[in-house]
Structure formats: structure tokens, C-alpha cells
């Protein structure tokens, strides 16, 4: 909270390429996927992986839809039972490092490793030809996190679209993990919006300095719910009480589910 996918839909993707705005008019939703970035049993093991991508000169709404359907078919043909879903995230503020992020959801690290090994050995060369000129993954920027649900939404989002906000947070002097537990309790005491939920992400890679003390990911069904929740938060006393224990750097995205 702190500065914390067949059905056709039309979404506006801003800043997909540097200095260019693209209108994505056709994205295919799979079985009316919901806000499935971390929809798992809170007690089960769950991992989320973010793969940075750059758009190529042949990038278009139609080509992206084609790639999504082709990719899903390729995954269906693999013995990749550990993948529980996939999303595409588009940043609200342009980034030099990526144009969008392909998100993979896993039920375990071992399943993730097995699927990647299979893909690399049997599918990667074919995929490289298919995506040539349309998009390019950046395998130097692939980030795996363990995900732990902190709070679930009151009403499930079944639209296949969502907005989220990553918060990379560091404790202020004199505060520690106990302060985070207090903040989590305070957050759970209020209905910020019916679609609001959050997860904590634990990096499964070596972080570079300065590294955050924790990563808090907020999710909502849409921008209206996000605005409602954030207004309630900043009008509450939390920013000056338990929320004052840390400072966070927020990064916001629009998301669409592409696999369930």
C-alpha cells in the first residue's frame, strides 16, 4: 500500500516503445483468466518470474496476439505441469531497460527448472525464429521470486486485467522486521477496496546494492480501485504510524493474463 486473456479486449498500452505509444486492440484471454499473478493457496509454495522484453520493429497488436497464442500452444505441447499461469505487464512510466515484462507463474522451483530445461533444449530455437523482429527477451534480466500472499481480495477479479505496484522498501533507522509485521496487521484491518490484495516477494537471486529489505506487491482490478485504496491510505494515520517504519520506491504496471 505504501507508495505500496478466447475473449477480445481492448487495452491501451502506453510507452511500449521509447517515444512511441501503441494501441493494443487484440489480446486473447484464456478461459476468462483472473488476476492470477499470485492466486495460490496461501500455504502452498509459489514462485513468480519476470522476464524483461524489448519490442521490435514489427511489433503490433496483431503480432503480439499471434505470439501469445503460439506460445500457449507450445507450452500445451510440453510436459510443463509446474506452470500455473502467465501475464504481461506494461509499465505506466517508460523504462530504458524494457518495454514490457513477460511473467511466468510456477508451483515450485524444481518445476520451473525442468520446464526451462525442456524449453531451452526443444523450443527456444523455434521460438527465436517466430519472434524475430517482433520482440526480444533479455535473458540477462530474468528475476525469480518466491511469493507469499499477505491478504486476499474480498471479490475475485475475473476480467483478465489488473493493475499492480511493486514497492521496493528499506527500513528507516531503528526499525526492523517486527515493524513490518505491525504494518501488515494494520493493513489487514481496513477494506481498502474490494479487489485489493498484496503479496510479499522474496528474491531467489543475488541482489545488487543498494538492495531493499523487502518487496511488497499491491494488486487491484483496475485503476479506480487503486485510486480509492491509495486515497484511503493517505487519509489514514498509517503513513505517520506503522507506515513510517520504511521508505519505498514504487513501480506501477498495467497487467493482462495470457495463460491460466
CA atoms within 13 A on the CB side of 162: 31
How confident is residue 208, by pLDDT bands cut at 50, 70 and 90? confident
Instruction: For 127-168, write each residue's pLDDT tens digit.
Output: 999 999 999 999 999 999 999 999 999 999 999 999 999 999
What is the CATH number for 145?
3.30.70.100
Q: What is the mean pLDDT of residues 178-189?
A: 96
Question: Residue 174 has what pLDDT?
Answer: 94
Query: Are 200 and 146 spatial neighbours (Cβ–Cβ below 8 Å)?
Result: no
| Chain centroid, CA 161 distance in Å | 11
Q: Is the dihedral of CA 84, 90, 93, 95 positive or negative?
A: positive
Q: What is the mean pLDDT of residues 229-253?
A: 97
**pTM, entire model:** 0.85
Query: Are 243 and 2 spatial neighbours (Cβ–Cβ below 8 Å)?
Result: yes
Residue 201 has pLDDT above 80, yes or no: yes
Instruction: For 212-228, write each residue's pLDDT tens digit.
Output: 999 999 999 999 999 99
Q: What is the mean pLDDT of residues 113-133?
A: 97
Domain of 128?
Answer: 1-260
Which residue would you say has higher pLDDT here, 147 or 7?
Answer: 147
Backbone dihedral region of 19: left (phi > 0), alpha (psi from -120 to 50 degrees) or beta?
left
Question: Residue 8 has what pLDDT?
Answer: 30
Q: Is the dihedral of CA 37, 68, 58, 126 positive or negative?
A: positive
CA–CA separation, 153 and 148 (whole Å): 14
Classified as helix, coil or strand, 185 is: helix
Domain count, the chain: 1
In the chain, the percentage of residues whose pLDDT exceeds 90 is 80
Question: Residue 39 has what pLDDT?
Answer: 42
Instruction: For 13-25, write each residue's pLDDT tens digit.
Output: 333 333 233 333 2
CA–CA separation, 119 and 22 (whole Å): 30
Which residue would you say has higher pLDDT here, 3 or 134?
Answer: 134
Which residue would you say has higher pLDDT here, 207 or 146?
Answer: 146
Residue 254 has pLDDT above 90, yes or no: yes
Query: Are 164 and 91 spatial neighbours (Cβ–Cβ below 8 Å)?
Result: no
Query: Are 89 and 254 spatial neighbours (Cβ–Cβ below 8 Å)?
Result: yes
Instruction: For 22-51, write each residue's pLDDT tens digit.
Output: 333 234 333 333 344 444 444 457 999 999
Average pLDDT, rounded, for the chain: 86
Question: Residue 79 has what pLDDT?
Answer: 86
Query: Are 165 and 254 spatial neighbours (Cβ–Cβ below 8 Å)?
Result: no
- Using the structure block, give the residue that is written with the C-alpha cell 512511441: 20
Amino acid at each position: 500500500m505504501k507508495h505500496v486473456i478466447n475473449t477480445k479486449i481492448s487495452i491501451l498500452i502506453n510507452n511500449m516503445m521509447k517515444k512511441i505509444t501503441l494501441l493494443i486492440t487484440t489480446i486473447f484471454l484464456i478461459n476468462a483468466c483472473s488476476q492470477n499473478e499470485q492466486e495460490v493457496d496461501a500455504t502452498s509454495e509459489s514462485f513468480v518470474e519476470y522476464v524483461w522484453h524489448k519490442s521490435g520493429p514489427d511489433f503490433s497488436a496483431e503480432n503480439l496476439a499471434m505470439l501469445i497464442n503460439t506460445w500457449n500452444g507450445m507450452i500445451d505441447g510440453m510436459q510443463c505441469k509446474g506452470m500455473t499461469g502467465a501475464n504481461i505487464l506494461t509499465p505506466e512510466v517508460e523504462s530504458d531497460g524494457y518495454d514490457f515484462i513477460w511473467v511466468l507463474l510456477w508451483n515450485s522451483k524444481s518445476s520451473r527448472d525442468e520446464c526451462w530445461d525442456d524449453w531451452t533444449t526443444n523450443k527456444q530455437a523455434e521460438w527465436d525464429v517466430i519472434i524475430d523482429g517482433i520482440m526480444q527477451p533479455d535473458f540477462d534480466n530474468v528475476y525469480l521470486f518466491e511469493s507469499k500472499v499477505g491478504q486476499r481480495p474480498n471479490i475475485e477479479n475475473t476480467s483478465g486485467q489488473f493493475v499492480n505496484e511493486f514497492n521496493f522498501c528499506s527500513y528507516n533507522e531503528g526499525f526492523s522486521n517486527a515493524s513490518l509485521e505491525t504494518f501488515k496487521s494494520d493493513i489487514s484491518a481496513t477494506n481498502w477496496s474490494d479487489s485489493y490484495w498484496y503479496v510479499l516477494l522474496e528474491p531467489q537471486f543475488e541482489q545488487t546494492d543498494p538492495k531493499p529489505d523487502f518487496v511488497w506487491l499491491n494488486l487491484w482490478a483496475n485503476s479506480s480501485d487503486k485510486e480509492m485504496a491509495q486515497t484511503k491510505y493517505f487519509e489514514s494515520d498509517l503513513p505517520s504510524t506503522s507506515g513510517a517504519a520504511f521508505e519505498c520506491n514504487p513501480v506501477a504496471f498495467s497487467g493482462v493474463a495470457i495463460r491460466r
